[in-house]
Amino acid sequence: MRPPARPGNFARVAEGLSATEVGKKIAEHRERGTEFHAPHERIASIVEALLLSVVALLAAWSGYSAAKWGTESRLDLSTSSRLRTQASVAEVEALQIRTIDSVSFNAVFTAYTSHDPRAFRVAVRRLRPGYRPAFNAWLATHPLVNPNAPLGPAYMPQYKIPQDVQAKTLTARATAASDTGEADAGTGDKYVRLTVFLAAVLFLVGIGSRFTVRVARFGLIGVAAVLLIVSVVQLLGLPGPP
């Protein structure tokens, strides 16, 4: 019985199963297959060659899919980061506008309570155009005599800051992009996990072809076939490359 393959070979395959590595295994298997002439040996060689061929195709597809999903994940996470930056800028602008509205309202309210029509008109003209609808609606509630009037224009439904709405929208889009990126990364990890099963199939077929004992060789082929079936089932349940 020939010595089994060194563990270092399997470790190298598990780290990154490539079509080149699988091709080498197929070539080695073809060379060793010429040494056996018994019918069961020929059958075993044919089955092993088929397994290696399927592994080569699946390994190439799995590696390509994992790379594509990894790229898609990075793009989604980059988009999420960009949107969050834009949302932060919009939040700062909204805070600045709210501060300006508050300062402007203080001047108007002071003139209004002091019954100074001239100062009141000047202060109203200096209000932000987007702030005036809320101010006029608040003024219509007669706040000086109505105890149920809102505390100020900022509490009126007419008070809206576009940057505030924009910030909320961008934050929601950033969260969605981040969730999508994480899901894409998870799909890529599943494809990488699939290559581990394929590496195990490659290892079992490679080491099994070195055995001259029929039971051992066919046993390893059976285990490799089961792992390959599991790999195919997992592959069918995964989405294709984006």
Nearest-angstrom CA–CA distance, 155 and 161: 12
Mean per-residue pLDDT of the chain: 84
The tens digit of pLDDT for each residue in 154-199 reads 999 999 999 999 999 999 999 999 999 999 999 999 999 999 889 8
CA nearest to 93, candidates 167, 22, 40, 34 = 167
User: How many other C-beta atoms are found inside a 10 Å radius of the C-beta of residue 177?
Assistant: 20
The tens digit of pLDDT for each residue in 210-231 reads 777 778 888 888 898 999 999 9
With cut-offs at 50, 70 and 90, classify the pLDDT of residue 26.
Answer: low
Whether the Cβ atoms of residue 129 and residue 156 lie closer than 8 Å to each other: no
Nearest-angstrom CA–CA distance, 141 and 226: 78
